Amino acid sequence: MMQEKKHVHLNLARIKKDGEMFEVDVDPDLAIKYKKNPASIDIREVLRVENIFKDAQKGLVASGKRMEEFFGTDETLEVAAYIIKNGEIQVSADYRNQLREMKRKRIISIIHQNGIDPRTKAPHPAQRIEAAFEEAKVRVDENRSAEDQVQHIVDQLRKVLPISFSKKQIWMHIPAQFATKSQGIVRSMGSIVKESRNIDGSWEVTVEIPGGLQEEFFDKLNNLTKGMIETRILKE
């Protein structure tokens, strides 16, 4: 009796060139980090196997001649770097489920720490929030950060669970060179109360955010602006 071949679940970065596939087996977290900022990590750490495949599931290695034709080199690390930076990162269903569960727990923790029942002013137990997730059929997006999803999910939960969030109003002055890039973070994590562009291109903005997101909010903006940001908490 022939034994059934076990299907291996791989996390791959892949790119197609003229109908031909090139794949590398990667650590998904590190691959995503490398794709965003190649200088932040050594490509060798990203790769699980230092091979370029034409079909990683079958273990079929790509031809060096074909790599030379398409990438101008058959050097494995150079081709792998190109694939990760310019191709698509595919992850296994198991990994997606783990990521989704991790973010679900983080969101529940944020809501538990910051959300209260407006009728009693008491915090909701984590178990009650979990039950509301099920009742409201909330779906967590594994491709977005937990913090970016909190407000949308709270809006869904309010259909079955009364929730109020503590809010903080923060004034910020962001230098011109970071003004455009910082808008994505500010608008996804809070609500703009007031904003203006100065003559020098800098951005002054007052934003309202959930109180429990303050640390994450400042961390993201400080990382983006290299700490070149002025802030002042106006209202707690």
Summarised one tens digit per residue, pLDDT across range 121-157 is 787 889 999 999 999 999 999 878 888 888 899 999 9
Of the pLDDT bands very low, low, confident and very high (cuts 50, 70, 90), residue 212 is low
Separation between Cα atoms, residue 181 and residue 183, nearest integer Å: 6
- Mean pLDDT (whole number) for 36-62: 91
Tens of pLDDT along 70-100?
A: 999 999 999 999 999 999 988 778 888 888 9
Burial bucket for residue 149 (CB in 10 Å: 0-12, 13-18, 19+) = buried
Of the candidates 213, 225, 226, the one whose C-alpha atom is nearest the C-alpha of residue 179 is 225
Separation between Cα atoms, residue 175 and residue 182, nearest integer Å: 10
Residues of each domain in the chain carrying CATH 3.30.70.240: 167-235
Q: How many CB atoms lie within 10 A of CB 93?
A: 8
Of the pLDDT bands very low, low, confident and very high (cuts 50, 70, 90), residue 44 is very high
Q: Which fold has domain 167-235?
A: Alpha-Beta Plaits (3.30.70)
CATH for the 93-164 domain, from 1.10.10.900, 1.20.120.610, 3.20.20.70, 3.40.1170.20: 1.10.10.900
Strand arrangement of the beta sheet that strand 191-197 belongs to: 191-197, 203-210, 167-174, 230-235
Superfamily grouping for domain 12-90: Ribosome maturation protein SBDS, N-terminal domain (3.30.1250.10)
Residues of each domain in the chain carrying CATH 3.30.1250.10: 12-90
DSSP states of 150-194: HHHHHHHHTTTS--EE-EEEEEEEE-HHHHHHHHHHHHHHSEEEE
Burial bucket for residue 121 (CB in 10 Å: 0-12, 13-18, 19+) = exposed
Q: Which residue has the tokens 């727990």?
A: 105
What are the beta bridge partners of residue 47?
Answer: 26
Separation between Cα atoms, residue 39 and residue 233, nearest integer Å: 34
Of the candidates 163, 173, 180, the one whose C-alpha atom is nearest the C-alpha of residue 207 is 173
Residues of each domain in the chain carrying CATH 1.10.10.900: 93-164
